[in-house]
Amino acid sequence: MGSWGTLGPALLSLAGVALGAGGSLFGQYLVSRVSERQLEVEESAAHRTELKAAVLQFVRLASQVEKAVVSRAEADGPESGPELGTLVDDLWIAQAEIDLAARSEPLRGAAYRYALRLAEVARGEVTEASALRGPQVQFMDAAYGDMWPGRRRGDVDSSSSR
């Protein structure tokens, strides 16, 4: 019994050190997981901001091309003026910005198809304005999907509806 009196406190001290070290390692693990998650959230927010700017620029130019085409049709002018040609060139540059900023191939493809259809309308190859709506909707859906992966456009957030 004498050996337990001297060995017991030493074993309890050793168990305390081991428990403390394990707790410290577990705490560090949790901190690193939280840091990784915060970094992911910050990177995602930065991506959304960059992509949102590119998408808005593209949509602004697409709208200007559509307006120029409509005004050309109202004036019965078949030729595309230098202003429309410049707008289409700027639209292709905006499409390239989306191509660089996008994370997903569906967005890259949708932006290209929408820009191509707008260029066809500007050249007079397509005369129906309704031909733009399909590519436009696909582009907006793809942009939303790239900015908020896994969420569908138009879904109501269940936490905000309560």
Nearest alpha-carbon partner for 147 in 61, 71, 62, 44: 44
At residue 117 the predicted structure's pLDDT band, cuts being 50, 70 and 90, is very high
* pLDDT at 158 > cutoff 50: no
Query: What's the pLDDT at 44?
Result: 86
**For the chain, what is the mean pLDDT?**
84
Confidence bin at 111 (pLDDT 50/70/90):
very high
- 């700017």: which residue's tokens? 53
Q: Is 79's pLDDT higher than 60? A: no
- For 31-45, write each residue's pLDDT tens digit: 888 888 888 888 888
**How far apart are the C-alpha atoms of 141 and 148, rounded to whole Å?**
10
Axis crossing angle, helix 2-74 with helix 133-147, rounded to the nearest 10 = 160
Q: Above 90 in pLDDT, residue 93?
A: yes
Phi, psi of 68 (to 5 degrees): -65, -40
Q: pTM of the entire structure?
A: 0.70
DSSP letters of 52-93? Answer: HHHHHHHHHHHHHHHHHHHHHHHTT--SPPHHHHHHHHHHHH
pLDDT band at 161 (very low <50, low <70, confident <90, very high): very low
Closest CA to 144 of 109, 113, 102: 102
